Amino acid sequence: MAEHASHVPGLAHHFVNMEQQREAGTIGMWIFLLTELMFFGGLFLAYAIFRVTYPDGFLQGSHLLSVPLGGLNTVVLIVSSLTMALAVYYSQMGEKKKVVGFLVLTLLLGLVFLVVKYFEYKEKFEHHLFPAMGFYAPDPSHLAVQYHQQVRVFLWIYFAMTGLHALHMIIGAGILLTLIIMAHKGKFTREYNSPVEISGLYWHFVDIVWIFLFPLLYLTGFHVGGGH
Amino acid sequence: MAEHTEHHIVPIKVYIAVFLALMVFTAITVAVASFPLENIWGPLNIIVALTVAVIKATLVILYFMHVRYSSRLTQVIIVAGIFWLLVLLLFTLADYASRSGWPTPLAQ
């Protein structure tokens, strides 16, 4: 029983066959992603409660965000999900050069997302919209002054949710870099490519989080006049 | 289990089709958000936004993440996880909604 496993390259000795090993890896990754779902879920719950509590503040706050930049990042992430899926596809076909190529493309798109996010954050700090130190003072002459603290709650939610998401993007970039090195060294074959496949699940999960963040944060106040 | 040894490989044209659908739904959600739908019915904006987001997420999960082709065990685990997320969201919101004095105004 024990020796048959050693003849299959890439098969760990405690699995019966490659199919069982692949399935165990997939389920393990999904259980991790479901804990992540609950992790982000707490923030989505906070969003829902505060949005119902302060509907006007959320409209005004959402209007402060740039829909073109948020939309650009949405497109960047969807394209990066496609390139990641293609990297997984070519790893299953055993085409090493294309695996490396699509992983590099995915990493570059992830970095584009983070650069755009950096400029968005920078603009918020410059306009005193970071909800902690240096947050703008309410202007009593302005109609929106009554929403000042509500907008602040929205911006806390915005920074917490996009910040946690950006942290996952940074970790994802590290994972991609590791995969690129492993793929370049020829660690993956038609038979053994679970690391690419499982990292793909993580990358797509982070994309899904953004699919919800974009309408909830950026588009909520898209159609209303600005309050500032 | 025993007969299912060949791993399913999703053809490229499926990936491209899903990608195009995701782009179209993104365009739809941005276009719809530019109209004041709450003039028709208060929660219409958020309903449309969340419906489109759920469709996009489902496409990513089923095809990019291969869940449509995964084992039944994997699928059951994922559905169970999403069920618990809904418990977290809906039960907490039901608790808030059933209390008097919510929503409360924030002290200025």
Indicate yes or no: CB of B106 within 8 angstroms of CB of A53: yes
Query: Searching chain A, which residue's CA lies closest to the CA of residue B65?
Result: A201
- pLDDT of amino acid A222: 82
Q: Which residue in B50, B53, B85 is closest to A41 by CB distance?
A: B85
Is the pLDDT at B108 greater than 60? The verdict is no
Neighbours of A194 (CB within 10 A): 17
- What is the pLDDT at residue A207? 97
**Chain B CA closest to residue A74:** B26
Q: In B, residues 55-74, which contact A (CB 8 Å cutoff)?
A: 56-57, 60-61, 63-66, 70-71, 73-74
pLDDT at A226: 42
- Residue closest to B12 by CA, chosen among A90, A189, A186, A167: A90
Q: A135 CB near a chain B CB, below 8 Å? A: no
Residues of chain A with Cβ-Cβ distance to B4 below 8 Å are 19
Task: Please determine, for residue B1, whether its predicted confidence score (pLDDT) is greater than 50.
Answer: no
| ipTM field | 0.88
Q: What residue ranges of chain A have pLDDT lower than 50?
A: 1-2, 5, 226-228
User: Cβ–Cβ of B102/A85 closer than 8 Å?
Assistant: no
Mutation for B interface: A189, A205, A208, most B CBs within 10 A: A208
- Percent of chain B past pLDDT 70, that is, above it, reads 89
Q: How confident is the model at residue A144, as a pLDDT?
A: 63
CB A211 within 8 A of CB A74: yes
Question: In 3-state terms, what secondary structure has residue A116?
Answer: helix
Gap between the Cα atoms of A36 and B5, Å rounded: 30
Q: Which chain A residues in 19-38 lie under 8 Å from chain B, judged by CB atoms? A: 19-20, 22-23, 26-27, 30-31, 33-34, 37-38
CB atoms within 10 A of CB A161: 21
What pLDDT band is residue B80 in, cutting at 50, 70 and 90?
Answer: very high
Quick one: pLDDT at residue A225?
53
Residue A88 contacts residue A193 (beta carbons within 8 Å): yes
Integer Cα distance of A165 and A183 in angstroms: 26
Instruction: Flag whether residue B96 sits within 8 Å of chain A, measured between CB atoms.
Output: yes
Give the single-character DSSP code of A190. S
Tell me which architecture the domain covering A25-219 has in CATH. Answer: Up-down Bundle (1.20)
Rg, chain A, Cα only: 22
Task: Please give the radius of gyration of chain B, using alpha carbons only, rounded to the nearest integer.
Answer: 20
Chain A, window 158-197: residues with a beta carbon less than 8 angstroms from a chain B beta carbon: 197
Q: CB contact, 8 Å: B89 with chain A?
A: yes
The reported pLDDT for the residue numbered B5 is 43
Closest CA to A28 of A41, A45, A12, A42: A12
Domain ranges of chain A: 25-219
pLDDT of residue A196: 95
Confidence of residue B106 (pLDDT cuts 50, 70, 90): low
Q: Which of A78, A83, A93, A220 to mutate to test the interface with B (most CBs of B within 10 A)?
A: A78
**Domain ranges within chain B, ordered by starting residue:** 1-65, 71-97
Nearest Cα of chain B lies from the Cα of A192 at a distance, in angstroms, of 11
Question: Which H, E and C letters describe chain B, residue by residue?
Answer: CCCCCCCCCCCHHHHHHHHHHHHHHHHHHHHHHCCCHHHCCCCHHHHHHHHHHHHHHHHHHHHHCCHHHCCHHHHHHHHHHHHHHHHHHHHHHHHHHCCCCCCCCCCC
Q: What's the pLDDT score for residue B3?
A: 42
pLDDT computed for residue B34 by the predictor: 85
Residue B33 is encoded by which pair of tokens?
């958000």
Rounded Cα gap, residues A217 and A204, in angstroms? 20
